Structure 1
Amino acid sequence: MEAFRQTVTVKNHKISITLPEDFSSEEVDVIILPSQNKEFNIPQWQMDQVRERTEKYLKNPENVTNIDDFLNEIENEL
């Protein structure tokens, strides 16, 4: 599925969207939502956790959990 997000300005109750050159779909679904606060702050603890996980992965990329195994593990714990 191809998707992209773009914030556009509404003028006279109209918008104009220019699609990227490589967007190849003949039909699209359009969802209009009011733009939220343009500043999205990611909590520091979350950035730290992602950095830590990335470092662990880069040190040993073979030691990762298969997503299906991970989901089964969670399901079994419920």
Structure 2
Amino acid sequence: MQAIKQIIDVENHTFSVVLPKDFTAKRVEVIILPSDPEDDIPQWHKDIIDKRLKDYKQNPEDVTDFDFFCDELEKENL
């Protein structure tokens, strides 16, 4: 089954969906749900990000370089 998810702006109570050229279905099911960008991120994830940002602001020198972290993680998996 091929699925397409799009966030589309509604104007004057209408919207249109442009399907990819390789979409071949002759019948589709349409489910319309309101979309709020804030709903896309779960609260628990926002809480983690807020905590990490707070920790960083309190100790900006206490961070690990991303490339170094990836190298170390790769060494552990060998």
Give me the TM-score of the superposition, normalised by structure 1: 0.48
Give me the TM-score of the superposition, normalised by structure 2: 0.48
Q: In terms of Rg, which structure is larger? A: 2
